[in-house]
Amino acid sequence: MLLESPSVNWKDYELIDSGNFEKLERFGPYTMIRPEPKALWNKSLSEDKWKQIAHTQFITGAGFGKAGKEDSGTWKRLKRMNDQWVISYNNAPSFKLRLGLTSFKHVGVFPEQAPNWDFIYNSVNELKESVAQPKVLNLFAYTGAASLAARCSGAIVTHLDSVKQVVTWARTNMELSGLENVRWILEDALKFVKREVRRGNLYNGIILDPPAYGHGPDGEKWKLDECLFDILQNCAQILAPKNSFLVLNLYSNGYSSVLAQTLVKCAFNLTEDPKSGEKNYKSIENGELILKDSFGKELPLSVFVRLKR
């Protein structure tokens, strides 16, 4: 199992400290305090020091304890700062992201995902040795960092999310990054994938980062436990059998990377002959995406599976 975190060369993000169910993070010029249920240990810096450093703090509100609304609340400003600002990601792919304070503690990017962005960028570049223009489908695509990573390497990208505001946000990020020609889809992911199966469309890369709960544009309810295997089975039918890759990322607290890998193996019917070692895929890897604070504490945030075939 792999443990991966963002490169230290990414200057626009830093996890300064973590503990007591919170994290102290810097995004570009601004530092903030956000709730973090996995930070079970004590803070390394004092409470007073956190408040001295931070520009703003997220205060959990009435949604606490309600499925799908656990992260709702408000921001308490501690210093003057802009409502929106731009940061750069300049590791292998290079793009810009517009950030902002939302009512669900998010700011428009999940920084622990950086290793997946690098994997996507490198995988598309590898595919270009065999495929003129690889096609990549990004499901539950949020504000589009993974879409931009694929587009940076020359992929034909379809970006899908069920929330109009975040699709608009993703388009802004594309324009800020000097990129173009991303296909934008406002749709329920499972409905779209099933339609692509019927059409016989194939992709060289599929990225899935589903939420535990959610709603489609027409009010469709999404519950990860009930839909995940179904959507993976349908994705198996639209992922090219050769010269292709899959990235699955999961944030649900009850999921392990071993469980996620088993789901992918079953959904995609991955086989390996125990005697000859012959496989119907190139490689599969699983692990956790973590953030390391400046005191060396490691904060696990999601699990992933990456398949190449």
Condensed to tens digits (0 to 9), the pLDDT of residues 199-221 reads 999 999 999 999 887 666 776 67
Say what the pLDDT of residue 33 is: 98
Residue of 49 and 225 predicted with greater confidence = 49
Rounded alpha-carbon distances, angstroms, from residue 124 to 133, 218, 237: 9, 33, 20
Q: Is the pLDDT of residue 65 over 50?
A: no
Average pLDDT over residues 156-166: 97
Band of residue 64 on the pLDDT scale cut at 50, 70, 90: very low
Say what the pLDDT of residue 231 is: 97
Q: What is the distance between the alpha carbons of residues 44 and 56, in angstroms, rounded to a whole number?
A: 19
When mean pLDDT is compared across 111-120, 135-144, 268-277, the lowest value belongs to 268-277
Average pLDDT over residues 76-86: 96
Domain 2-86 classification at class level: mainly beta
Q: Is the pLDDT of residue 232 over 60?
A: yes
Say what the pLDDT of residue 61 is: 77
Three-class SS of the chain: CEEECCCCCCCCEEEEEEECCEEEEEECCEEEEEECCCCCCCCCCCHHHHHHHCCEEEEECCCCCCCCCCCCEEEEECCCCCCEEEEEEECCCEEEEEEECCCCCCCCCCHHHHHHHHHHHHHHHHHCCCCCCCEEEEECCCCCHHHHHHHHCCCEEEEEECCHHHHHHHHHHHHHCCCCCCEEEECCHHHHHHHHHHHCCCECEEEECCCCEEECCCCCEEEHHHHHHHHHHHHHHHECCCCCEEEEEECCCCCCHHHHHHHHHHHCCCCECCCCCCECCCEEEEEEEEEECCCCCEEEEEEEEEEEC
Contact 81, 55 (CB under 8 A): yes
Say what the pLDDT of residue 250 is: 97
Contact 7, 17 (CB under 8 A): no
Q: Is the pLDDT of residue 70 over 90?
A: no
The structure tokens listed for 30 are 């601004």
Say what the pLDDT of residue 229 is: 96
Q: Is the pLDDT of residue 128 over 50?
A: yes
- Mean pLDDT for the chain? 94
Say what the pLDDT of residue 71 is: 67
Q: What is the distance between the alpha carbons of residues 289 and 294, in angstroms, rounded to a whole number?
A: 17
Q: Is the pLDDT of residue 242 over 80?
A: yes
Q: How many percent of the chain have pLDDT more than 70?
A: 94
Q: Is the pLDDT of residue 87 over 70?
A: yes
Q: Is the pLDDT of residue 224 over 90?
A: no
Say what the pLDDT of residue 239 is: 98
Neighbours of 294 (CB within 10 A): 13
When mean pLDDT is compared across 60-74, 194-208, 260-274, the lowest value belongs to 60-74
Q: Which fold has domain 110-308?
A: Rossmann fold (3.40.50)
Q: Is the pLDDT of residue 131 over 90?
A: yes
Phi, psi of 28 (to 5 degrees): 60, -125
Say what the pLDDT of residue 275 is: 87
Q: Is the pLDDT of residue 62 over 60?
A: no
Domain residue ranges in the chain:
2-86, 110-308
